[in-house]
Structure 1
Amino acid sequence: MAYVRKDVSTLTRTERRRFVNALLELKRRGEYDEFVRLHIDYYTSDGEAGLRTAHMAPSFLPWHRRFVLDLERALRRVDSSVTMPYWNWTRDRTTTSVPWTNDLLGGNGRRSDRQVMTGPFAYSAGHWTIKEGITDGRFLTRDLGRPASPLELPTRSQLQWALDDPVYDVRPWDSTVPRGFRNKLEGWGSGSGSASLRNHNRVHRWVGGVMLGGASVNDPVFWLHHTFLDLQWYRWQRAHSSHRYLPAEPPGLGDPQHERIVARHQKLPPWDVTPDGLEDMSRIYRYA
Protein backbone atom coordinates (compact mmCIF):
# COMPACT_ATOMS: atom_id res chain seq x y z
CA MET A 1 0.00 0.00 0.00
CA ALA A 2 1.32 3.43 -0.95
CA TYR A 3 2.39 5.72 1.86
CA VAL A 4 1.81 9.50 1.95
CA ARG A 5 4.26 12.36 1.63
CA LYS A 6 3.06 15.50 3.42
CA ASP A 7 3.68 19.23 3.35
CA VAL A 8 6.26 19.83 6.08
CA SER A 9 4.08 22.62 7.51
CA THR A 10 1.35 20.08 8.31
CA LEU A 11 3.53 17.66 10.28
CA THR A 12 2.63 17.15 13.91
CA ARG A 13 5.17 17.74 16.63
CA THR A 14 5.74 14.00 16.88
CA GLU A 15 6.15 13.62 13.10
CA ARG A 16 8.71 16.41 13.06
CA ARG A 17 10.68 14.82 15.87
CA ARG A 18 10.68 11.38 14.26
CA PHE A 19 11.77 12.77 10.89
CA VAL A 20 14.65 14.72 12.45
CA ASN A 21 15.71 11.78 14.61
CA ALA A 22 15.79 9.44 11.61
CA LEU A 23 18.03 11.88 9.71
CA LEU A 24 20.36 12.17 12.69
CA GLU A 25 20.56 8.39 12.98
CA LEU A 26 21.52 8.03 9.30
CA LYS A 27 24.20 10.63 9.88
CA ARG A 28 25.46 8.81 12.97
CA ARG A 29 25.71 5.55 11.00
CA GLY A 30 27.62 7.22 8.16
CA GLU A 31 24.87 6.43 5.64
CA TYR A 32 23.93 10.06 5.13
CA ASP A 33 27.40 11.00 3.92
CA GLU A 34 27.17 8.33 1.23
CA PHE A 35 24.29 10.31 -0.28
CA VAL A 36 26.40 13.48 -0.20
CA ARG A 37 29.25 11.71 -2.01
CA LEU A 38 26.89 10.33 -4.65
CA HIS A 39 25.47 13.75 -5.44
CA ILE A 40 28.95 15.27 -5.68
CA ASP A 41 29.97 12.49 -8.07
CA TYR A 42 27.02 13.14 -10.39
CA TYR A 43 27.09 16.94 -10.25
CA THR A 44 28.09 17.30 -13.91
CA SER A 45 27.46 20.36 -16.10
CA ASP A 46 27.04 20.94 -19.84
CA GLY A 47 30.67 21.84 -20.30
CA GLU A 48 32.05 18.62 -18.91
CA ALA A 49 32.71 15.55 -21.03
CA GLY A 50 30.74 12.34 -20.72
CA LEU A 51 27.26 11.39 -19.59
CA ARG A 52 25.11 13.92 -17.70
CA THR A 53 22.36 12.43 -15.55
CA ALA A 54 21.62 14.54 -12.47
CA HIS A 55 21.71 18.11 -13.82
CA MET A 56 21.39 20.09 -17.04
CA ALA A 57 19.76 17.11 -18.71
CA PRO A 58 16.34 15.52 -19.24
CA SER A 59 17.03 13.01 -16.47
CA PHE A 60 17.22 15.76 -13.83
CA LEU A 61 13.76 14.79 -12.56
CA PRO A 62 13.93 10.96 -12.64
CA TRP A 63 17.49 11.02 -11.22
CA HIS A 64 16.42 13.06 -8.22
CA ARG A 65 13.17 11.08 -7.89
CA ARG A 66 15.21 7.94 -7.34
CA PHE A 67 17.77 9.76 -5.18
CA VAL A 68 15.07 11.06 -2.82
CA LEU A 69 13.37 7.66 -2.78
CA ASP A 70 16.61 5.96 -1.73
CA LEU A 71 17.07 8.39 1.16
CA GLU A 72 13.42 7.95 2.15
CA ARG A 73 13.85 4.16 2.19
CA ALA A 74 16.90 4.55 4.41
CA LEU A 75 14.91 6.75 6.80
CA ARG A 76 12.09 4.22 6.88
CA ARG A 77 14.52 1.47 7.81
CA VAL A 78 15.28 3.56 10.89
CA ASP A 79 11.64 4.48 11.56
CA SER A 80 8.89 3.01 9.39
CA SER A 81 6.52 5.87 10.24
CA VAL A 82 8.72 8.45 8.48
CA THR A 83 8.02 9.69 4.96
CA MET A 84 9.74 12.50 3.09
CA PRO A 85 7.99 15.85 3.63
CA TYR A 86 8.11 18.66 1.10
CA TRP A 87 8.70 22.39 1.47
CA ASN A 88 6.27 24.52 -0.52
CA TRP A 89 8.52 27.53 -1.11
CA THR A 90 5.77 29.35 -3.01
CA ARG A 91 3.88 29.67 0.29
CA ASP A 92 6.37 29.36 3.17
CA ARG A 93 8.65 32.14 2.00
CA THR A 94 10.25 33.82 5.01
CA THR A 95 13.47 33.11 6.89
CA THR A 96 11.51 32.24 10.04
CA SER A 97 8.67 30.14 8.61
CA VAL A 98 8.64 26.37 8.27
CA PRO A 99 11.05 24.61 7.78
CA TRP A 100 13.43 27.08 9.48
CA THR A 101 12.23 26.30 13.01
CA ASN A 102 14.18 24.93 15.95
CA ASP A 103 12.28 21.63 15.91
CA LEU A 104 12.94 21.05 12.20
CA LEU A 105 15.94 22.36 10.27
CA GLY A 106 17.03 25.25 12.45
CA GLY A 107 17.43 28.79 11.21
CA ASN A 108 19.74 31.04 9.24
CA GLY A 109 23.50 31.20 9.55
CA ARG A 110 25.11 33.87 11.70
CA ARG A 111 26.41 36.95 9.92
CA SER A 112 30.12 36.43 10.54
CA ASP A 113 30.59 33.03 8.87
CA ARG A 114 27.06 31.84 7.94
CA GLN A 115 27.29 29.01 10.47
CA VAL A 116 23.88 27.65 11.51
CA MET A 117 23.68 27.98 15.30
CA THR A 118 20.15 26.75 16.01
CA GLY A 119 18.23 23.51 15.65
CA PRO A 120 19.31 19.87 15.58
CA PHE A 121 21.69 20.27 12.60
CA ALA A 122 23.82 23.02 14.13
CA TYR A 123 27.48 22.03 14.45
CA SER A 124 27.38 23.07 18.11
CA ALA A 125 24.68 20.47 18.79
CA GLY A 126 27.29 17.82 18.04
CA HIS A 127 25.38 15.63 15.60
CA TRP A 128 25.99 17.18 12.17
CA THR A 129 29.64 17.55 11.25
CA ILE A 130 30.17 17.93 7.50
CA LYS A 131 32.55 15.21 6.37
CA GLU A 132 31.97 15.19 2.62
CA GLY A 133 32.13 18.51 0.79
CA ILE A 134 33.76 20.66 -1.81
CA THR A 135 35.43 22.84 0.84
CA ASP A 136 37.06 22.12 4.20
CA GLY A 137 34.13 23.53 6.16
CA ARG A 138 32.92 21.33 9.01
CA PHE A 139 29.67 23.11 9.85
CA LEU A 140 26.36 23.70 8.08
CA THR A 141 26.05 27.16 6.54
CA ARG A 142 23.10 29.18 5.24
CA ASP A 143 22.52 32.69 3.93
CA LEU A 144 18.73 32.72 3.70
CA GLY A 145 17.46 35.36 1.30
CA ARG A 146 21.02 36.63 0.75
CA PRO A 147 20.64 39.90 2.73
CA ALA A 148 23.73 41.47 1.14
CA SER A 149 21.99 41.27 -2.24
CA PRO A 150 18.38 40.31 -1.53
CA LEU A 151 16.80 37.52 -3.51
CA GLU A 152 13.18 36.35 -3.55
CA LEU A 153 12.01 32.76 -3.69
CA PRO A 154 10.12 31.73 -6.85
CA THR A 155 6.45 32.64 -6.86
CA ARG A 156 3.43 30.46 -7.54
CA SER A 157 3.04 32.03 -10.99
CA GLN A 158 6.68 31.33 -11.85
CA LEU A 159 6.20 27.69 -10.91
CA GLN A 160 2.98 27.55 -12.90
CA TRP A 161 4.87 28.89 -15.94
CA ALA A 162 6.86 25.66 -15.90
CA LEU A 163 3.86 23.44 -15.24
CA ASP A 164 1.94 24.95 -18.17
CA ASP A 165 4.50 23.79 -20.74
CA PRO A 166 3.10 20.52 -22.16
CA VAL A 167 6.42 19.30 -23.59
CA TYR A 168 8.77 17.56 -21.14
CA ASP A 169 12.05 18.62 -22.78
CA VAL A 170 13.43 19.75 -26.14
CA ARG A 171 16.68 19.67 -28.10
CA PRO A 172 19.53 20.16 -27.39
CA TRP A 173 18.50 18.65 -24.04
CA ASP A 174 20.71 20.88 -21.87
CA SER A 175 20.74 24.09 -19.81
CA THR A 176 20.24 26.35 -22.85
CA VAL A 177 16.76 25.25 -23.90
CA PRO A 178 14.14 28.00 -23.53
CA ARG A 179 11.19 25.61 -23.74
CA GLY A 180 10.16 22.41 -22.02
CA PHE A 181 8.93 21.66 -18.52
CA ARG A 182 12.20 20.13 -17.32
CA ASN A 183 14.46 23.15 -17.79
CA LYS A 184 11.77 25.64 -16.81
CA LEU A 185 11.57 23.77 -13.51
CA GLU A 186 15.29 23.11 -13.16
CA GLY A 187 15.78 26.80 -13.77
CA TRP A 188 18.64 27.55 -16.17
CA GLY A 189 17.83 30.84 -17.87
CA SER A 190 19.56 33.19 -20.26
CA GLY A 191 21.73 36.08 -19.14
CA SER A 192 23.89 36.24 -16.04
CA GLY A 193 23.47 36.60 -12.31
CA SER A 194 20.52 35.71 -10.14
CA ALA A 195 17.98 36.94 -12.68
CA SER A 196 18.85 33.93 -14.83
CA LEU A 197 18.08 31.49 -12.00
CA ARG A 198 14.54 30.18 -11.86
CA ASN A 199 12.52 27.77 -9.73
CA HIS A 200 14.82 24.94 -8.54
CA ASN A 201 18.07 26.86 -9.08
CA ARG A 202 16.73 30.01 -7.48
CA VAL A 203 15.77 28.14 -4.31
CA HIS A 204 19.30 26.76 -3.97
CA ARG A 205 20.67 30.29 -4.32
CA TRP A 206 18.11 31.69 -1.83
CA VAL A 207 19.15 29.20 0.85
CA GLY A 208 22.84 29.79 0.13
CA GLY A 209 25.67 28.32 2.14
CA VAL A 210 26.32 24.66 1.38
CA MET A 211 23.21 24.56 -0.84
CA LEU A 212 25.17 26.38 -3.56
CA GLY A 213 27.25 23.50 -4.88
CA GLY A 214 27.52 19.80 -5.49
CA ALA A 215 27.62 19.14 -1.74
CA SER A 216 24.18 20.75 -1.26
CA VAL A 217 22.90 17.47 0.21
CA ASN A 218 24.75 18.43 3.42
CA ASP A 219 21.78 20.70 4.18
CA PRO A 220 18.72 18.55 4.96
CA VAL A 221 16.54 21.15 3.25
CA PHE A 222 17.85 19.66 -0.01
CA TRP A 223 15.47 16.75 0.44
CA LEU A 224 12.42 18.87 1.25
CA HIS A 225 13.16 21.03 -1.79
CA HIS A 226 13.57 18.11 -4.17
CA THR A 227 10.50 16.34 -2.82
CA PHE A 228 8.52 19.46 -3.72
CA LEU A 229 10.04 19.34 -7.21
CA ASP A 230 9.03 15.69 -7.46
CA LEU A 231 5.49 16.74 -6.58
CA GLN A 232 5.62 19.23 -9.46
CA TRP A 233 6.62 16.47 -11.88
CA TYR A 234 3.68 14.45 -10.56
CA ARG A 235 1.38 17.44 -11.11
CA TRP A 236 2.76 17.98 -14.61
CA GLN A 237 2.20 14.32 -15.46
CA ARG A 238 -1.45 14.56 -14.39
CA ALA A 239 -2.02 17.81 -16.29
CA HIS A 240 -0.38 16.57 -19.52
CA SER A 241 -1.17 12.87 -19.47
CA SER A 242 -0.53 12.41 -23.21
CA HIS A 243 3.06 13.68 -22.84
CA ARG A 244 5.98 11.74 -21.46
CA TYR A 245 9.69 11.91 -20.69
CA LEU A 246 11.81 12.97 -23.66
CA PRO A 247 13.88 12.04 -25.52
CA ALA A 248 12.21 8.72 -26.24
CA GLU A 249 15.24 7.57 -28.26
CA PRO A 250 18.93 8.34 -27.68
CA PRO A 251 20.58 11.00 -29.89
CA GLY A 252 22.37 9.38 -32.81
CA LEU A 253 25.93 9.54 -34.08
CA GLY A 254 26.90 13.07 -35.03
CA ASP A 255 24.52 14.62 -32.49
CA PRO A 256 26.42 16.71 -29.89
CA GLN A 257 24.42 14.92 -27.21
CA HIS A 258 25.25 11.41 -28.42
CA GLU A 259 25.97 9.30 -25.32
CA ARG A 260 25.72 12.41 -23.16
CA ILE A 261 22.11 12.11 -22.00
CA VAL A 262 19.74 9.32 -20.96
CA ALA A 263 16.77 8.45 -23.19
CA ARG A 264 13.50 7.05 -21.86
CA HIS A 265 14.46 3.36 -21.97
CA GLN A 266 18.17 3.66 -21.16
CA LYS A 267 19.64 2.84 -17.76
CA LEU A 268 20.00 5.81 -15.44
CA PRO A 269 23.33 5.58 -13.59
CA PRO A 270 24.12 4.68 -10.89
CA TRP A 271 20.97 2.56 -10.72
CA ASP A 272 19.61 -0.35 -12.71
CA VAL A 273 16.48 1.61 -13.66
CA THR A 274 15.27 3.71 -16.59
CA PRO A 275 13.39 7.03 -16.70
CA ASP A 276 10.46 5.00 -18.04
CA GLY A 277 10.52 2.90 -14.88
CA LEU A 278 10.42 6.01 -12.68
CA GLU A 279 7.48 7.78 -14.29
CA ASP A 280 4.81 6.08 -12.14
CA MET A 281 5.38 5.96 -8.38
CA SER A 282 1.73 5.42 -7.40
CA ARG A 283 2.39 1.97 -5.94
CA ILE A 284 5.06 3.36 -3.63
CA TYR A 285 3.92 6.82 -2.48
CA ARG A 286 1.39 9.54 -3.09
CA TYR A 287 1.15 13.19 -2.07
CA ALA A 288 -1.22 14.68 0.48
Structure 2
Amino acid sequence: MVYVRKNVSKLTRTERRRFIEALLEIKRRGVYDEFVRLHIAHFIGDGSRGLRAAHMAPSFLPWHRMFLLDLEEALRRVDDSVTVPYWDWTKDRKATALPWTDDLLGGNGRPGDRRVMTGPFAHATGNWTIRANVTAGDFLTRDLGRSRSPLDLPTKADLRQALDDPVYDVAPWNSTVTKGFRNRLEGWSRGRDPWRNHNRVHRWVGGSMLGGASVNDPVFWLHHAFVDMQWSRWQQRHRNHRYLPDKPPAQGSDQYRRIVARHERMPPWDMTPDDLEDVSQIYRYA
Protein backbone atom coordinates (compact mmCIF):
# COMPACT_ATOMS: atom_id res chain seq x y z
CA MET A 1 0.00 0.00 0.00
CA VAL A 2 1.34 3.43 -0.98
CA TYR A 3 1.86 5.68 2.04
CA VAL A 4 1.97 9.47 2.20
CA ARG A 5 4.64 11.92 3.32
CA LYS A 6 3.04 15.12 4.56
CA ASN A 7 4.16 18.69 5.02
CA VAL A 8 5.23 18.95 8.66
CA SER A 9 2.96 21.98 9.03
CA LYS A 10 -0.05 19.76 8.21
CA LEU A 11 0.60 17.06 10.81
CA THR A 12 -1.97 16.67 13.54
CA ARG A 13 -0.86 16.78 17.18
CA THR A 14 -1.16 13.00 17.31
CA GLU A 15 0.93 12.57 14.14
CA ARG A 16 3.61 14.86 15.56
CA ARG A 17 3.72 12.91 18.82
CA ARG A 18 3.90 9.52 17.11
CA PHE A 19 6.68 10.64 14.77
CA ILE A 20 8.76 11.97 17.69
CA GLU A 21 8.11 8.88 19.81
CA ALA A 22 9.23 6.60 16.97
CA LEU A 23 12.45 8.61 16.51
CA LEU A 24 13.20 8.45 20.24
CA GLU A 25 12.55 4.72 20.29
CA ILE A 26 14.98 3.88 17.48
CA LYS A 27 17.50 6.14 19.20
CA ARG A 28 17.01 4.21 22.43
CA ARG A 29 17.56 0.91 20.58
CA GLY A 30 20.82 2.17 19.05
CA VAL A 31 19.43 2.00 15.52
CA TYR A 32 19.49 5.75 14.94
CA ASP A 33 23.22 6.06 15.64
CA GLU A 34 23.90 3.51 12.88
CA PHE A 35 22.31 5.91 10.39
CA VAL A 36 24.67 8.64 11.61
CA ARG A 37 27.69 6.36 11.22
CA LEU A 38 26.63 5.34 7.71
CA HIS A 39 26.34 8.95 6.60
CA ILE A 40 29.73 9.82 8.10
CA ALA A 41 31.31 6.89 6.27
CA HIS A 42 29.93 8.09 2.92
CA PHE A 43 30.66 11.78 3.37
CA ILE A 44 33.31 11.85 0.64
CA GLY A 45 34.06 14.95 -1.38
CA ASP A 46 35.72 15.87 -4.66
CA GLY A 47 39.15 16.06 -3.10
CA SER A 48 39.17 12.39 -2.14
CA ARG A 49 40.04 9.60 -4.52
CA GLY A 50 37.68 6.68 -4.80
CA LEU A 51 33.94 6.39 -5.24
CA ARG A 52 31.61 9.26 -4.28
CA ALA A 53 28.09 7.94 -3.87
CA ALA A 54 26.37 10.25 -1.39
CA HIS A 55 27.62 13.77 -2.14
CA MET A 56 29.08 15.90 -4.92
CA ALA A 57 27.99 13.31 -7.46
CA PRO A 58 24.98 12.31 -9.59
CA SER A 59 23.86 9.70 -7.05
CA PHE A 60 23.33 12.35 -4.36
CA LEU A 61 19.57 12.12 -4.91
CA PRO A 62 19.03 8.34 -5.20
CA TRP A 63 21.50 7.74 -2.34
CA HIS A 64 19.55 9.94 0.03
CA ARG A 65 16.25 8.55 -1.29
CA MET A 66 17.36 5.08 -0.20
CA PHE A 67 18.71 6.44 3.07
CA LEU A 68 15.30 8.00 3.81
CA LEU A 69 13.52 4.76 2.94
CA ASP A 70 15.69 2.82 5.38
CA LEU A 71 15.03 5.33 8.16
CA GLU A 72 11.32 5.27 7.40
CA GLU A 73 11.30 1.48 7.54
CA ALA A 74 12.96 1.59 10.96
CA LEU A 75 10.37 4.08 12.21
CA ARG A 76 7.47 2.06 10.79
CA ARG A 77 8.69 -1.08 12.56
CA VAL A 78 8.01 0.87 15.75
CA ASP A 79 4.76 2.49 14.56
CA ASP A 80 3.39 1.69 11.11
CA SER A 81 1.39 4.91 11.03
CA VAL A 82 4.56 7.01 10.88
CA THR A 83 6.08 8.48 7.74
CA VAL A 84 8.81 11.12 7.39
CA PRO A 85 7.28 14.59 7.02
CA TYR A 86 8.93 17.26 4.90
CA TRP A 87 9.91 20.81 5.82
CA ASP A 88 9.20 23.33 3.07
CA TRP A 89 11.94 25.85 3.79
CA THR A 90 10.67 28.18 1.06
CA LYS A 91 7.54 28.82 3.19
CA ASP A 92 8.38 28.08 6.84
CA ARG A 93 11.40 30.35 7.07
CA LYS A 94 11.54 31.65 10.64
CA ALA A 95 13.54 30.21 13.51
CA THR A 96 10.44 30.42 15.68
CA ALA A 97 8.09 28.69 13.20
CA LEU A 98 7.60 25.02 12.42
CA PRO A 99 9.42 22.70 12.74
CA TRP A 100 11.23 24.53 15.59
CA THR A 101 8.47 24.12 18.18
CA ASP A 102 8.70 22.39 21.56
CA ASP A 103 6.40 19.56 20.45
CA LEU A 104 8.46 18.84 17.35
CA LEU A 105 12.19 19.48 16.95
CA GLY A 106 12.77 22.05 19.66
CA GLY A 107 14.30 25.44 19.08
CA ASN A 108 17.59 27.18 18.48
CA GLY A 109 20.77 26.60 20.43
CA ARG A 110 21.68 28.90 23.30
CA PRO A 111 24.34 31.58 22.85
CA GLY A 112 27.89 30.41 23.37
CA ASP A 113 27.94 26.67 22.84
CA ARG A 114 24.73 26.57 20.66
CA ARG A 115 23.33 23.73 22.79
CA VAL A 116 19.64 22.99 22.13
CA MET A 117 17.75 23.44 25.39
CA THR A 118 14.13 22.88 24.37
CA GLY A 119 12.04 20.11 22.82
CA PRO A 120 12.37 16.31 22.85
CA PHE A 121 15.94 16.29 21.52
CA ALA A 122 17.47 18.55 24.15
CA HIS A 123 20.32 16.81 25.97
CA ALA A 124 18.70 17.46 29.34
CA THR A 125 15.87 15.05 28.52
CA GLY A 126 18.36 12.19 28.55
CA ASN A 127 16.89 10.81 25.32
CA TRP A 128 19.22 12.29 22.70
CA THR A 129 22.86 11.89 23.62
CA ILE A 130 25.16 12.24 20.59
CA ARG A 131 27.24 9.05 20.34
CA ALA A 132 28.39 9.07 16.71
CA ASN A 133 30.14 12.27 15.72
CA VAL A 134 33.13 13.77 13.93
CA THR A 135 33.78 16.33 16.67
CA ALA A 136 33.65 16.39 20.46
CA GLY A 137 30.35 17.01 22.20
CA ASP A 138 27.44 14.80 23.21
CA PHE A 139 24.60 17.31 22.82
CA LEU A 140 22.64 18.58 19.83
CA THR A 141 23.61 22.07 18.60
CA ARG A 142 21.95 24.60 16.30
CA ASP A 143 22.66 28.12 15.09
CA LEU A 144 19.49 28.92 13.15
CA GLY A 145 20.13 31.68 10.66
CA ARG A 146 23.84 31.76 11.56
CA SER A 147 24.14 34.37 14.33
CA ARG A 148 27.60 35.77 13.51
CA SER A 149 27.16 35.95 9.75
CA PRO A 150 23.41 35.87 9.05
CA LEU A 151 22.17 33.71 6.22
CA ASP A 152 18.72 33.39 4.65
CA LEU A 153 17.06 30.15 3.64
CA PRO A 154 16.69 29.43 -0.08
CA THR A 155 13.73 31.02 -1.84
CA LYS A 156 11.14 29.70 -4.25
CA ALA A 157 13.12 31.38 -7.03
CA ASP A 158 16.27 29.51 -6.00
CA LEU A 159 14.39 26.23 -6.14
CA ARG A 160 12.74 27.12 -9.45
CA GLN A 161 16.15 27.68 -11.03
CA ALA A 162 17.03 24.07 -10.25
CA LEU A 163 13.67 22.62 -11.31
CA ASP A 164 13.73 24.46 -14.64
CA ASP A 165 16.95 22.76 -15.76
CA PRO A 166 15.87 19.77 -17.90
CA VAL A 167 19.22 17.95 -17.73
CA TYR A 168 19.78 15.78 -14.65
CA ASP A 169 23.56 16.22 -14.41
CA VAL A 170 26.58 17.02 -16.59
CA ALA A 171 30.27 16.17 -16.78
CA PRO A 172 32.52 16.24 -14.83
CA TRP A 173 29.75 15.03 -12.49
CA ASN A 174 31.04 16.78 -9.34
CA SER A 175 30.69 19.94 -7.24
CA THR A 176 32.14 22.21 -9.94
CA VAL A 177 29.39 21.87 -12.54
CA THR A 178 27.27 24.96 -13.14
CA LYS A 179 24.51 23.24 -15.10
CA GLY A 180 22.24 20.29 -14.40
CA PHE A 181 19.41 19.79 -11.93
CA ARG A 182 21.39 17.67 -9.46
CA ASN A 183 24.03 20.23 -8.52
CA ARG A 184 21.65 23.17 -8.77
CA LEU A 185 19.62 21.37 -6.09
CA GLU A 186 22.52 19.94 -4.07
CA GLY A 187 23.88 23.46 -4.04
CA TRP A 188 27.62 23.62 -4.63
CA SER A 189 28.74 26.87 -6.24
CA ARG A 190 31.70 29.22 -6.27
CA GLY A 191 32.27 32.87 -5.53
CA ARG A 192 30.75 35.04 -2.84
CA ASP A 193 27.70 32.80 -2.35
CA PRO A 194 28.99 29.22 -2.27
CA TRP A 195 25.88 27.45 -0.90
CA ARG A 196 22.53 27.11 -2.59
CA ASN A 197 19.32 25.15 -1.96
CA HIS A 198 20.15 21.91 -0.09
CA ASN A 199 23.58 23.04 1.09
CA ARG A 200 22.32 26.45 2.14
CA VAL A 201 19.73 24.85 4.45
CA HIS A 202 22.42 22.82 6.20
CA ARG A 203 24.36 26.06 6.72
CA TRP A 204 21.29 27.95 7.92
CA VAL A 205 20.53 25.35 10.60
CA GLY A 206 24.20 25.17 11.56
CA GLY A 207 25.57 23.35 14.58
CA SER A 208 25.14 19.58 14.26
CA MET A 209 23.80 19.96 10.71
CA LEU A 210 27.27 20.89 9.44
CA GLY A 211 29.40 18.04 8.09
CA GLY A 212 29.14 14.29 7.89
CA ALA A 213 27.38 13.83 11.22
CA SER A 214 24.45 16.09 10.23
CA VAL A 215 22.07 13.17 10.72
CA ASN A 216 22.39 13.79 14.49
CA ASP A 217 19.84 16.58 14.04
CA PRO A 218 16.45 15.02 13.20
CA VAL A 219 15.70 17.99 10.94
CA PHE A 220 18.05 16.24 8.50
CA TRP A 221 15.23 13.87 7.54
CA LEU A 222 12.60 16.60 7.10
CA HIS A 223 15.03 18.57 4.97
CA HIS A 224 15.94 15.60 2.79
CA ALA A 225 12.31 14.58 2.39
CA PHE A 226 11.70 18.02 0.86
CA VAL A 227 14.79 17.63 -1.35
CA ASP A 228 13.52 14.21 -2.44
CA MET A 229 10.15 15.77 -3.20
CA GLN A 230 11.91 18.18 -5.58
CA TRP A 231 13.41 15.26 -7.47
CA SER A 232 9.89 13.83 -7.84
CA ARG A 233 8.66 17.22 -9.08
CA TRP A 234 11.56 17.45 -11.54
CA GLN A 235 10.78 13.95 -12.85
CA GLN A 236 7.14 14.90 -13.46
CA ARG A 237 8.14 18.14 -15.18
CA HIS A 238 10.82 16.62 -17.44
CA ARG A 239 9.45 13.20 -18.31
CA ASN A 240 11.82 12.69 -21.24
CA HIS A 241 14.92 13.21 -19.11
CA ARG A 242 16.46 10.71 -16.69
CA TYR A 243 19.37 10.14 -14.36
CA LEU A 244 22.78 10.75 -15.90
CA PRO A 245 25.32 9.45 -16.62
CA ASP A 246 23.72 6.50 -18.33
CA LYS A 247 27.12 4.80 -18.69
CA PRO A 248 30.22 4.94 -16.46
CA PRO A 249 33.03 7.35 -17.38
CA ALA A 250 35.66 5.66 -19.51
CA GLN A 251 38.97 4.43 -18.18
CA GLY A 252 41.40 7.35 -18.24
CA SER A 253 38.70 9.83 -17.26
CA ASP A 254 39.24 11.78 -14.04
CA GLN A 255 35.88 10.42 -12.86
CA TYR A 256 36.59 6.78 -13.73
CA ARG A 257 35.27 4.62 -10.88
CA ARG A 258 34.51 7.76 -8.85
CA ILE A 259 30.79 8.09 -9.60
CA VAL A 260 27.78 5.79 -9.97
CA ALA A 261 26.18 5.45 -13.41
CA ARG A 262 22.48 4.68 -13.80
CA HIS A 263 22.76 0.90 -13.80
CA GLU A 264 25.65 0.52 -11.36
CA ARG A 265 25.35 -0.62 -7.75
CA MET A 266 25.17 2.27 -5.32
CA PRO A 267 26.95 1.39 -2.05
CA PRO A 268 26.18 0.39 0.62
CA TRP A 269 23.03 -1.06 -0.99
CA ASP A 270 22.52 -3.62 -3.71
CA MET A 271 20.50 -1.01 -5.59
CA THR A 272 21.10 1.16 -8.63
CA PRO A 273 19.93 4.72 -9.33
CA ASP A 274 17.68 3.21 -11.98
CA ASP A 275 15.97 1.09 -9.30
CA LEU A 276 15.10 4.23 -7.34
CA GLU A 277 13.82 6.50 -10.08
CA ASP A 278 10.21 5.31 -9.67
CA VAL A 279 8.94 5.10 -6.09
CA SER A 280 5.25 5.67 -6.95
CA GLN A 281 4.37 2.22 -5.58
CA ILE A 282 6.03 2.96 -2.23
CA TYR A 283 5.10 6.52 -1.24
CA ARG A 284 3.85 9.84 -2.51
CA TYR A 285 3.90 13.44 -1.30
CA ALA A 286 0.85 15.33 -0.13
Q: TM-score range by the shorter chain?
A: over 0.9
The residue identity in structure 2 corresponding to 1:81 is S
- Aligned equivalents of 1:147, 1:273: Cα separation in 2: 41
- Aligned equivalents of 1:179, 1:250: Cα separation in 2: 19
Deviation at 1:246, TM superposition (A): 0.1
Deviations 1:253-280 (A, max 9, x none): 1110000000000000000000000000
- Aligned equivalents of 1:96, 1:219: Cα separation in 2: 17
Pairing 1:81-160 to 2, within 5 Å after superposition: 81-160=81-160
Aligned partner of 2:14 in structure 1 is: 14
**Structure 1 residues without counterparts, runs of 5 or longer:** none
Aligned partner of 1:67 in structure 2 is: 67
Aligned partner of 1:218 in structure 2 is: 216
Of residues 224, 230, 233, the one that matches 1:232 is 230
Q: Is 1:267 paired with 2:256?
A: no
Aligned partner of 1:179 in structure 2 is: 179
Aligned partner of 1:278 in structure 2 is: 276
The residue identity in structure 1 corresponding to 2:93 is R
**Structure 2 residues without counterparts, runs of 5 or longer:** none
- Aligned equivalents of 2:214, 2:75: Cα separation in 1: 19
Deviations 1:166-212 (A, max 9, x none): 000000000000000000000000125xx110000000000000101
SS in 1 for 2:231: helix
The residue identity in structure 2 corresponding to 1:259 is R
SS in 2 for 1:37: helix
- Aligned equivalents of 2:149, 2:52: Cα separation in 1: 32
Number of residue pairs matched by the alignment:
286
**Alpha carbon RMSD of aligned pairs, Å?**
0.5
Deviation at 1:112, TM superposition (A): 1.7
SS in 2 for 1:283: coil
The residue identity in structure 1 corresponding to 2:45 is S
Deviation at 1:147, TM superposition (A): 1.8
- Aligned equivalents of 1:257, 1:204: Cα separation in 2: 26
SS in 1 for 2:72: helix
The residue identity in structure 2 corresponding to 1:50 is G
Q: TM-score, normalised by structure 1?
A: 0.99
Aligned partner of 2:78 in structure 1 is: 78
Runs of 4+ in 1 over 6 A off after TM superposition: none
Percent identity at matched positions?
A: 71
Deviation at 1:84, TM superposition (A): 0.6
Deviation at 1:77, TM superposition (A): 0.3
Aligned partner of 1:31 in structure 2 is: 31
Aligned partner of 2:197 in structure 1 is: 199
The residue identity in structure 2 corresponding to 1:255 is S
Deviation at 1:214, TM superposition (A): 0.3
- Aligned equivalents of 2:59, 2:29: Cα separation in 1: 30
- Aligned equivalents of 1:172, 1:135: Cα separation in 2: 32
- Aligned equivalents of 2:190, 2:32: Cα separation in 1: 35
- Aligned equivalents of 1:121, 1:200: Cα separation in 2: 23
- Aligned equivalents of 1:77, 1:64: Cα separation in 2: 20
- Aligned equivalents of 1:131, 1:92: Cα separation in 2: 30
